[in-house]
């Protein structure tokens, strides 16, 4: 639990960006699952939309009729300062984060307030480390990026897998991701933005490597890997150059339980070779289009933020991440599974992360930290109780 300097604040959790697509789903989850003792509030820039959302939540829980509504704007540093100072945890859905996220991180780092977001943007994460990690460590703030499908199933899935392996020996883990889910306009905008900022992404990563402390006596890596047919899963494995393996490697650097020499590789799992080839070609074409401003703007207009799959589509969506872990003569197969990954499960993960930071007894951490490092067993227990699957499939 994070109570900076012993000072009490009006709220335990504030949800910022509550009226967006994932924001509404997260608010609905909190209305249904936040304990009565949790003091939470909604925040955004449009009072009318916040009032409409509160009325919608009241149908879920009549106690939400008095839910506080706070004004905050991602471009207004003063409103974000007031927001950060009013609560112990801010959960934010306002992206793309590289455009709209930094002022909130700065406010939370300054106020000693925990911040949980949904970013999958590696450039943003590296920039926030460079600009605000030091101050967050001074104030005790925990800046926890990627608290949704990026990257909780992968980070906690590897954390869970490592616990099944021997201690004090070199460990390797491979993750294989499958899903049938659709994406929202916000997710598409974030991905397209990242694809169009290749030079900035590489520059931020290089600067981080120069400033980040080096491990002494241990090693943790997340190489890209190569396309191949995986005998363990019976599918084609395509390397996924997402934020997830970076997050896993940072957890491994922070936690000695990952052993003296740890390696993680991250793959998309595709059943048929033509699908694998077609998927790779489609991603390549999208990346090429993202480099052309006119093409990027046209694509952005096709999927505007705030849009997303309807309830029926989400109800029929699913994901699985299968892990193969090895070390010390032991080989384990584990699996993380759930429903719609980008929206229903992401809302669950963000809400439970915020509640975990606000209410649970956690390890003493501060600065930019991962979900495994900051919350580990507590978040794993919360998500399991909430219906996400974490299981050991086989041991050899």
pLDDT confidence of residue 196: 66
Quote the CA–CA distance of 248 and 266 in Å, as a whole number: 10
Among 192-201, 375-384, 386-395, the range scoring the smallest mean pLDDT is 192-201
- Residues whose CB falls within 8 Å of the CB of residue 210, separated by 6 or more in sequence, listed in order: none
pLDDT confidence of residue 305: 53
* β-sheet bridge partners, residue 367: 142
pLDDT confidence of residue 261: 98
pLDDT of 329 > 80? The answer is yes
* β-sheet bridge partners, residue 142: 367
Q: Both tokens of residue 147?
A: 């608290």
Q: Both tokens of residue 269?
A: 């799992």
| Interval 173-200: pLDDT, tens | 999 999 887 655 545 555 566 666 778 8
Taking residues 277-293, report their average pLDDT.
Answer: 52
CA distances to 74, 81, 82, 93, 138 from 78, in Å? 10, 5, 6, 19, 21
381 or 305, higher pLDDT: 381
pLDDT of 319 > 70? The answer is yes
Quote the CA–CA distance of 159 and 293 in Å, as a whole number: 40
- Residues whose CB falls within 8 Å of the CB of residue 183, separated by 6 or more in sequence, listed in order: 303, 308, 309, 342
The verdict on whether omega for the bond into residue 368 sits within 30 degrees of 0, i.e. cis, is no
CA distances to 12, 87, 199, 267, 360 from 122, in Å? 28, 27, 12, 17, 28
> Residue 371's closest CA among 190, 175, 142?
142
CA distances to 101, 110, 137 from 85, in Å? 17, 9, 17
pLDDT of 6 > 50? The answer is no
pLDDT confidence of residue 312: 82
| Interval 337-357: pLDDT, tens | 999 998 999 999 999 999 999
pLDDT of 283 > 70? The answer is no
Q: Both tokens of residue 24?
A: 């509404």
> Average pLDDT, whole number, for the chain?
89
Taking residues 280-291, report their average pLDDT.
Answer: 50
DSSP 103-119: HHHHHHHHHT-EEEE--
pLDDT confidence of residue 306: 53
pLDDT confidence of residue 315: 85
| Interval 68-106: pLDDT, tens | 999 999 999 999 999 999 999 999 999 889 999 999 999
pLDDT confidence of residue 193: 63
Quote the CA–CA distance of 348 and 330 in Å, as a whole number: 33
pLDDT of 141 > 70? The answer is yes
**Sign of the dihedral defined by the CA atoms of residues 257, 263, 264, 270, in that order:** negative
- Asked whether the beta carbons of 345 and 360 are under 8 A apart, the reply is no
pLDDT confidence of residue 342: 82
pLDDT confidence of residue 5: 40
Angle subtended by helix axes 47-60 and 21-33, to nearest 10: 40
| Interval 217-260: pLDDT, tens | 999 999 998 889 998 889 999 998 889 999 999 999 999 999 99
pLDDT confidence of residue 189: 58
Q: Both tokens of residue 372?
A: 């495994």
Q: What percent of the chain has pLDDT over 70?
A: 85
pLDDT confidence of residue 4: 45
pLDDT confidence of residue 271: 74
pLDDT of 275 > 60? The answer is no
286 or 310, higher pLDDT: 310
Quote the CA–CA distance of 203 and 172 in Å, as a whole number: 29
pTM: 0.90
| Interval 288-306: pLDDT, tens | 545 566 654 555 555 555 5
């Amino acid at each position: 639990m994070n109570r900076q300097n012993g000072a009490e604040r009006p709220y335990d959790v504030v949800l910022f960006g509550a009226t967006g697509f994932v924001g509404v789903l997260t608010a609905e989850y909190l209305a249904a699952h936040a304990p009565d003792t949790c003091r939470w509030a909604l925040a955004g820039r449009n009072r009318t939309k916040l009032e409409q959302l509160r009325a919608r939540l009241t149908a879920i829980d009549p106690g939400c009729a008095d839910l506080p509504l706070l004004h905050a704007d991602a471009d207004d540093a003063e409103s974000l300062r007031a927001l950060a100072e009013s609560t112990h945890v801010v959960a934010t859905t306002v992206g793309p984060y590289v455009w709209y996220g930094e002022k909130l991180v700065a406010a939370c780092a300054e106020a000693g307030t925990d911040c949980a977001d949904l970013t999958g943007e590696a450039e943003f994460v590296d920039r926030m480390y460079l600009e605000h990690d030091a101050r967050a460590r001074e104030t005790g703030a925990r800046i926890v990026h990627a608290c949704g499908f990026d990257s909780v199933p992968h980070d906690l899935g590897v954390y869970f897998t490592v616990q099944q392996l021997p201690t004090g020996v070199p460990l390797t883990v491979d993750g294989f991701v499958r899903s049938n889910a659709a994406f929202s306009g916000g997710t598409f905008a974030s991905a397209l933005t990242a694809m169009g900022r290749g030079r900035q992404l590489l520059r931020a990563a290089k600067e981080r490597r120069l400033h980040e402390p080096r491990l002494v006596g241990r090693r943790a890596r997340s190489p890209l890997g190569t396309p191949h047919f995986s005998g363990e899963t019976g599918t084609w494995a395509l390397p996924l150059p997402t934020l997830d393996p970076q997050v896993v490697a940072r957890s491994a650097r922070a936690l000695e339980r990952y052993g003296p020499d740890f390696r993680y590789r991250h793959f998309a799992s595709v059943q048929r070779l033509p699908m694998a080839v077609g998927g790779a070609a489609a991603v390549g074409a999208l990346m090429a289009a993202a480099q052309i401003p006119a093409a990027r703007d046209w694509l952005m207009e096709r999927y505007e933020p705030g849009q997303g799959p309807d309830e029926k589509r989400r109800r029929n969506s699913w994901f699985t991440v299968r892990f193969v872990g090895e070390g010390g003569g032991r080989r384990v197969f584990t699996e993380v599974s759930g429903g719609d990954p980008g929206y229903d499960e992401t809302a669950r993960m963000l809400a439970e992360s915020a509640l975990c930071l606000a209410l649970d007894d956690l390890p003493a951490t501060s600065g930019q930290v991962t979900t495994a490092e900051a919350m580990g067993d507590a978040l794993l227990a919360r998500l399991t109780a909430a219906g996400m699957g974490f299981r050991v499939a086989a041991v050899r």
